[in-house]
Amino acid sequence: MPVFKRSQQDSLTGLPTRDVFVSKANKILLRGSSNEYAAVYMRLVNLGMYIVRHGRKAGEEVVVLIATQLRENPAIEAVGRLSSGSFAALAPVNRVEEALGAINHLLPTFGETDGLMLKGGYCAMRNDLTLDEAMARAHYAYEDVRIGSPAYSRLFDQGLETVYNRRAYVVEHLNDAIARGEIRAYAQPIIRVLTGQICEVEILARWKSDEFGFFCPDEFIPELERHRLIHQLDGEVVRLACKQWKEASDLGINVPFGINLSRLDFELCDIFAVVIEHMRAYDVPVDQVHIEVTESALAQSNSLLLTGIDRFRRAGFELYLDDFGSGYSTLQVLEGKSFDVVKLDMSLLREVESNERARVIVADAVSMVKRLNLQTLCEGVETEDQFLFLKAVGCEKAQGYYFSRPVSHEEIMEHLEDTIDLHETPEDKRYYDSLGKINLIDGTRSSVHGVEAAHFLGTQPFAIVEVRGQSVTFLSSNAAFNRFVESSLARSIEELVHRLSDDLSSLRNKVLFSASKARVTGEAQRFDFVMEGNFLSMGISYVEGSEGREAYLMEILSVTKYSQFNDFKLLEESLRFLYTIFKRIDLLDVTDRTWRNIYLNVPRYNALRAGATPQDEIVAFCETFIHPDDRRRFLEFYDLTTVERRIAKQGSVHLADVFFALSDNDRYEDQLFMLIPVSMGGHKQFLSCMRDLDISGLTRQYSGSSERISDEVLLSGILAVTERLVFWKDDKGRFLGANERFLDYYGFLSVECILGKTDEDLGWTRNAHFPVDEKKVLAGKQVLDVEGYTCRREELRDIRVSKMPLWNEGKVIGLVGFLVDVGPHVSKKDSKETGDE
């Protein structure tokens, strides 16, 4: 009679089923014995994983093995199988641990972290407990040991009892609590990072019971979810939130709020209808409510949740993805679902102050979220440093104890009434949301005006400035910008702001002029200026405007500050930047009467014959490219004998003027020419730079501050702008880095191939004068265009090398070299080479 048998006994293991076990155990308990018994709940942890790896049959074998062991274990007096991997038993309290330990030692993958383990919870039998009640408590104790504990068993003791009773209370008394008003809707402010103002609040449930005092959400939310009652709580919280919003609104305070919805809300009721109903009852507009759904809910996404979210979305609610980065994260969570805000889990922020990696992760997360055209809100901000960090990486919103804990409706109302003039209006929200789209990390912005993510001004220091009438203020800036301001412009952003507020400051006028031009034309504007001895270029681009204020993205770059060259990345970026500024740079040596092109972007300007003097070149250039009307003025401008006098008269560091010159498209256009005196090794030299003119009005009256540019710095900076192969070394002649071009040239796969190596290490000993040159450079001199030759991929090539010292705080810390390939190697008797070939 197999059917009968199966209902008594489990067919796989032969163990009794639950009912049979219960009646058997009860009989033992009734007999009474000197033993103090415990009800035991056990479960095979990681059975699913084991079956995936080893197959169903292997899994069944383990289950059978355990069943046999349980049956034969002398400590266990009754046992039953509850489901595939779980068992119930009756055993003396003091022998449970021993029994579980013994069985675990027999399991096949014993010892591995994700290996099979039989874990159990047990509860001592008492007169006031039925076996079922004891089993429920044993199961509860099992839950405790299952999560993260290396032990196999856990006794349901006094500590668990307290928690258990509180949880049981929660489940049994939810309806009473709602009826008695024990559920509260607390509010925690959310701060707009750009302004520091409250922009919204998050509603968080609180439960204050007469019997047990305060319950925290971590106690009751999971329990209500487990018992599928969570929708009742959430319905009440939404009702309270709407009611509170209405009370505030009647006082003229309109602060949007967010509510937390559980995944189960979407299964257990029509949560959309519930929310809408309460909003209607209290006249809450849809733009005042946002919905938070956790990442974990989404990760186990079911269609009810997805369609539910979609209904909210289509009704115009903003959607927040909660707890992003708390563990389940994959970017796929965001794919195809339209969220507005991603809430970064507070675990991400925890390590930010002490851990560089954590900073990178948060910065990347913010940047990545922006690229998806969403905003970021960081939770759990507890310190000023954390807040400043979020500001620097461009996180839009922040929430945490640093600003405020969740507080009662009464408390938040008090605060909101006190700050009523400071609340964000819907227009503020539109404006700041738009600014929030700017990615301060790389200066890109996602569709501000529906435009696809556009590359903005390069990867450099960025700030967002606000212009109101004639005043210019900084809304935010990235870390690179702050560093830059402090090292090159002013002691701090505050000082820069102060300068920008000076009516007479020419910088302020340039900013305002370019800003308005950027707004009108919709194109980024760039202008040059000199400050604190640095030659600088500023880019300004319009972002958004609202009610008499306009926001701009500002980028500042330094042409001259290349003493920080030991950072390879910085050099690369600087090169890229200089390419964009100038079309052509020449070094004119008056003492030597030589002329040298350093950088050329427009092939047609390359008109020169070898051996020409600066004067020859100027005249030739003038006749070929300058419009006849401007030729006289051009020659006067380039009169090298009077440059210094003219500069001194102007009180500036260089001369600049605009001439009508043939541009690349064969038309005469305004071009800016600059002459910057530099003095090197006693030679009188001028850097001649030319570029397209974009802000003619400004540049015609071009004048810098009276500061002197440090010549070495300037020259090394300009020389860096080159098609040349660039490398760098420390003061022991070891390579610190090189540009891609250099690596390509020699066929190195990566910079690692040369890092830390000297020329000898690399077998480059052909040019005996190179080490001598390097010594000179390290003593603070420059060597320019020294001839030599090199073996490149088994081919001898002639090269010219320039080397300049890298200065840091007055000391030479290394050198930077620029190398030009002149062609195949030609043996020359008089050449300097003393190679070993």
Beta bridge partners of 491: none
Q: Which of the 8 DSSP states describes residue 419?
A: T
Q: How far apart are CA 711 and CA 587, in angstroms?
A: 12
Nearer CB in complex with ligand C2E: 180/468: 180
The only residue of 38, 204, 435, 465 in contact with ligand C2E, by rule CB under 6 A: 204
Pick the piece of the chain touching ligand C2E (CB under 6 A) from 7-15, 143-151, 378-386, 642-650: 378-386
Could you tell me the CA-to-CA distances from 681 to 478, 592, 686, 777 in Å, in that order? 39, 12, 13, 13
Minimum distance, C-beta of residue 191 to ligand C2E, in the bound complex (Å) = 11
Pick the piece of the chain touching ligand C2E (CB under 6 A) from 259-267, 490-498, 518-526, 557-565: 259-267
Minimum distance, C-beta of residue 322 to ligand C2E, in the bound complex (Å) = 5
Minimum distance, C-beta of residue 761 to ligand C2E, in the bound complex (Å) = 52
Q: How far apart are CA 762 and CA 751, in angstroms?
A: 13
For the chain, how long is the longest CA-to-CA vector?
A: 122
Coil, strand or helix at 507: helix
Strands (E), 226-294: 257-261, 289-294
Cβ–Cβ under 8 Å, residues 407 and 210:
no
414 contacts: CB under 8 Å, gap ≥ 6 = none
Minimum distance, C-beta of residue 397 to Ca ion, in the bound complex (Å) = 13
Q: Which does 400 bind (CB under 5 to 8 A by kind): Ca ion, ligand C2E, none?
A: ligand C2E
Minimum distance, C-beta of residue 335 to ligand C2E, in the bound complex (Å) = 22
The only residue of 13, 46, 188, 244 in contact with ligand C2E, by rule CB under 6 A: 188
Instruction: Kindly identify the residues of this chain, within the stretch 204-263, that bind Ca ion according to CB under 5 A.
Output: 260
Residue type, 527: F
Minimum distance, C-beta of residue 221 to Ca ion, in the bound complex (Å) = 11
Minimum distance, C-beta of residue 399 to Ca ion, in the bound complex (Å) = 9
Q: Which does 204 bind (CB under 5 to 8 A by kind): Ca ion, ligand C2E, none?
A: ligand C2E
The only residue of 295, 318, 322, 555 in contact with ligand C2E, by rule CB under 6 A: 322
Instruction: Kindly identify the residues of this chain, within the stretch 379-418, that bind ligand C2E according to CB under 6 A.
Output: 379-382, 399-401, 406
826 binds ligand C2E (CB under 6 A): no
Instruction: Kindly identify the residues of this chain, within the stretch 335-354, that bind ligand C2E according to CB under 6 A.
Output: 346
> Two tokens at 526?
């760039």
Could you tell me the CA-to-CA distances from 675 to 575, 652, 655, 688 in Å, in that order? 20, 11, 5, 5
> Two tokens at 173?
């008394």
Instruction: Kindly identify the residues of this chain, within the stretch 322-351, that bind Ca ion according to CB under 5 A.
Output: 322-323
Q: How far apart are CA 426 and CA 219, in angstroms?
A: 36
Nearer CB in complex with ligand C2E: 63/205: 205
Q: Which does 406 bind (CB under 5 to 8 A by kind): Ca ion, ligand C2E, none?
A: ligand C2E
Cβ–Cβ under 8 Å, residues 618 and 633:
no
The only residue of 47, 221, 293, 496 in contact with ligand C2E, by rule CB under 6 A: 221
Nearer CB in complex with ligand C2E: 399/537: 399
Pick the piece of the chain touching ligand C2E (CB under 6 A) from 52-60, 100-108, 376-384, 780-788: 376-384
Pick the piece of the chain touching ligand C2E (CB under 6 A) from 125-133, 217-225, 438-446, 703-711: 217-225
Minimum distance, C-beta of residue 514 to ligand C2E, in the bound complex (Å) = 41
Q: Which does 188 bind (CB under 5 to 8 A by kind): ligand C2E, Ca ion, none?
A: ligand C2E
Q: For the chain, count helices (H), then strands (E).
A: 29, 29
Q: Which residue is nearest to ligand C2E (CB)?
A: 400
Q: Which does 401 bind (CB under 5 to 8 A by kind): ligand C2E, Ca ion, none?
A: ligand C2E
What are the backbone angles phi and psi of residue 207, rounded to the nearest 5°? -135, 115
SS3 content of the chain, % helix, strand, coil (to 5): 40, 25, 30
Q: Nearest Cα to 446, choosing from 394, 403, 405?
A: 394
Burial of 90 (0-12, 13-18, 19+ CB in 10 A): buried
User: Residue 380: left if φ>0, alpha if ψ -120 to 50, beta else—which one?
Assistant: left
Q: How far apart are CA 13 and CA 7, in angstroms?
A: 13
Nearer CB in complex with ligand C2E: 323/550: 323
260 binds ligand C2E (CB under 6 A): yes
Site string for ligand C2E, 565-594 (x = CB under 6 A): ------------------------------
323 binds ligand C2E (CB under 6 A): yes
10 binds Ca ion (CB under 5 A): no
Q: How far apart are CA 680 and CA 379, in angstroms?
A: 56
Instruction: Kindly identify the residues of this chain, within the stretch 100-129, that bind Ca ion according to CB under 5 A.
Output: none
Nearer CB in complex with ligand C2E: 399/688: 399
Q: Which does 376 bind (CB under 5 to 8 A by kind): ligand C2E, Ca ion, none?
A: none
Nearer CB in complex with Ca ion: 177/221: 221
Cβ–Cβ under 8 Å, residues 9 and 67:
no
Pick the piece of the chain touching ligand C2E (CB under 6 A) from 160-168, 258-266, 554-562, 771-779: 258-266
Rounded to the nearest 10 degrees, how much is the dihedral formed by the CA atoms of 677, 679, 685, 689? -40
Nearer CB in complex with ligand C2E: 236/759: 236
Q: Residues 746-756, buried b or exposed e (16+ Cβ, 10 A)? A: beeeebeebee
115 binds ligand C2E (CB under 6 A): no
- The full DSSP string for 85-102 is TEEEEEEEGGGHHHHHHH
262 binds ligand C2E (CB under 6 A): yes
Pick the piece of the chain touching ligand C2E (CB under 6 A) from 156-164, 373-381, 532-540, 754-762: 373-381
HSE-CB at 141 with a 13 A cutoff on CA atoms is 28
The only residue of 292, 550, 555, 586 in contact with Ca ion, by rule CB under 5 A: 292
Q: How far apart are CA 789 and CA 766, in angstroms?
A: 8
Q: How far apart are CA 748 and CA 739, in angstroms?
A: 11
The only residue of 22, 63, 124, 205 in contact with ligand C2E, by rule CB under 6 A: 205
Minimum distance, C-beta of residue 308 to ligand C2E, in the bound complex (Å) = 13
If binding means CB under 6 A, how many residues of this protein chain bind ligand C2E? 24
Q: How far apart are CA 837 and CA 829, in angstroms?
A: 14
Nearer CB in complex with ligand C2E: 91/230: 230
Minimum distance, C-beta of residue 419 to ligand C2E, in the bound complex (Å) = 20
What are the backbone angles phi and psi of residue 792, rounded to the nearest 5°? -115, 115
Q: Which does 467 bind (CB under 5 to 8 A by kind): Ca ion, ligand C2E, none?
A: none
Task: Say if strands 683-692 and 668-680 run parallel, antiparallel, or are unpaired.
Answer: antiparallel
> Two tokens at 625?
């490219």
Q: How far apart are CA 28 and CA 75, in angstroms?
A: 14
214 binds ligand C2E (CB under 6 A): no
Nearer CB in complex with ligand C2E: 231/561: 231
Coil, strand or helix at 3: helix
Residue type, 300: Q
> Which residues are near ligand C2E by CB under 6 A?
188, 204-205, 216-218, 221, 230, 234, 237, 260-262, 322-323, 346, 379-382, 399-401, 406
> Which residues are near Ca ion by CB under 5 A?
260, 292, 322-323, 379
